[in-house]
């Protein structure tokens, strides 16, 4: 292998790693916007960033928009806080991209101020155009079928994890 070939190959590897990092940053920026939209109950932004696969599931798109808005208002009313984790996976194949970002929501339960509902789940942030645009799949029941809808090359890894919710006494909640 010539020195020039090794140099070009090394440059391609560095470029590829840099490109993947830029893609992950694009996904993270989108999920940050989505999370902030929920915190502010910005219904238009939430709907705009929602996965098209989720929108397609509804016969009436305005119903999904109303449901998302109602959830956002409920989370805001209960002073729910959301903490985003670092991406636990990043996949890309052809024009498809997928970043899996864990999150945790903590908020008071309206029926009991002494209890806090803590939900741990994952955002599946995906792109079908090489990372030019990103959308968020936010479901408590992400499974392989949903994973394949938003990232067609999905082959079962990493495994889709359902949301986990726990009701804790407020003083012991994170």
Query: What pLDDT score was predicted for residue 100?
Result: 93
Nearest-CA neighbor of 43 among 17, 14, 75? 75
**Lookup: tokens for 35:** 């999370």
Are 71 and 141 within 8 A, CB to CB?
no
Query: What pLDDT score was predicted for residue 76?
Result: 83
Query: What pLDDT score was predicted for residue 83?
Result: 92
Query: What pLDDT score was predicted for residue 116?
Result: 82
Nearest-CA neighbor of 121 among 154, 155, 60, 75? 75
Residue ranges in the chain whose pLDDT is less than 70: 1-18, 110-113, 170-174
Query: What pLDDT score was predicted for residue 111?
Result: 62
Query: What pLDDT score was predicted for residue 54?
Result: 86
Query: What pLDDT score was predicted for residue 173?
Result: 55
- The total number of structural domains in the chain stands at 1
Nearest-CA neighbor of 127 among 36, 25, 38, 43? 25
Number of H helices, E strands in the chain: 5, 6
Containing domain of residue 50, as a range? 3-172
CATH classification at residue 84 = 3.10.450
What are the start-end ranges of the H helices in the chain? 3-40, 43-49, 52-57, 61-77, 144-150
Give tens-digit pLDDT for 27-49.
999 999 999 988 889 999 889 99
Query: What pLDDT score was predicted for residue 32?
Result: 93
């Amino acid at each position: 292998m010539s020195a020039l070939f090794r140099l070009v190959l090394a440059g391609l590897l560095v470029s590829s790693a840099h490109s993947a990092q830029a893609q992950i940053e694009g996904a993270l920026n989108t999920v940050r916007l989505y999370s902030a939209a929920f915190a502010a109950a910005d219904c238009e932004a939430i709907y705009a960033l929602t996965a098209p696969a989720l929108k397609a599931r509804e016969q009436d798109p305005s119903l999904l928009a109303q449901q998302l808005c109602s959830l956002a208002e409920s989370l805001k009313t209960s002073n729910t806080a959301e903490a985003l984790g670092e991406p636990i996976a990043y996949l890309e194949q052809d024009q498809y991209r997928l970043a899996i970002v864990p999150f945790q929501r903590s908020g008071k339960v309206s029926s009991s101020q002494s209890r806090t509902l803590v939900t741990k789940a994952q955002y599946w942030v995906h792109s079908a155009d090489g990372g030019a645009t990103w959308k968020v799949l936010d479901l408590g029941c992400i499974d392989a079928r949903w994973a394949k809808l938003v990232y067609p090359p999905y082959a079962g890894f990493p495994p889709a994890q359902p949301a986990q919710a726990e009701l804790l006494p407020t003083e012991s909640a994170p």
